[in-house]
Amino acid sequence: MSTENVIMKVGDLVKRINGQALHSGASMYKDAVVANINPFVLISREGDMRWSATVVQEDFAVTGRADNKMLHLVMKRFLHDFPND
């Protein structure tokens, strides 16, 4: 999938442009799912990790789309952590 001129949307799979993995403690994640655009929130494919304050949209490129099962896990986590958004 070409990432040129791609507007990032909720449900997109993204990875860091510089190739670095996302970290959570000792765990590393090669990519994540966009759960929200403003504020920018990423959640792991499994829904077990969330990033917001440590990530900026400009550092990521779209690599695909989450499937329905993945998107369900991501949105469940997002709504748990941000119940009023």
The answer to whether the beta carbons of residues 29 and 21 sit under 8 Å apart is yes
Q: Which residue range(s) make up the domain with 51?
A: 12-81
Rounded distance between C-alpha atoms, residue 78 and residue 71, angstroms: 10
Residue 30 covered by a domain: yes
| Total domains, the chain | 1
**Is 3 inside any structural domain?**
no
Q: What is the pLDDT of residues 64-78, one digit of tens each?
A: 999 999 999 999 999
Q: How many CA atoms lie within 13 A of 1 on its CB side?
A: 13
Q: Give the model's pLDDT for residue 4.
A: 53
Residue 28 tokens, joined: 């590393």
Q: What is the model's pLDDT at position 85?
A: 60
**Tokens linked to 52:** 């917001």
Inside any domain, residue 5: no
- Residue numbers of the chain with a pLDDT score lower than 50: 1-2
- The model's pTM is 0.89
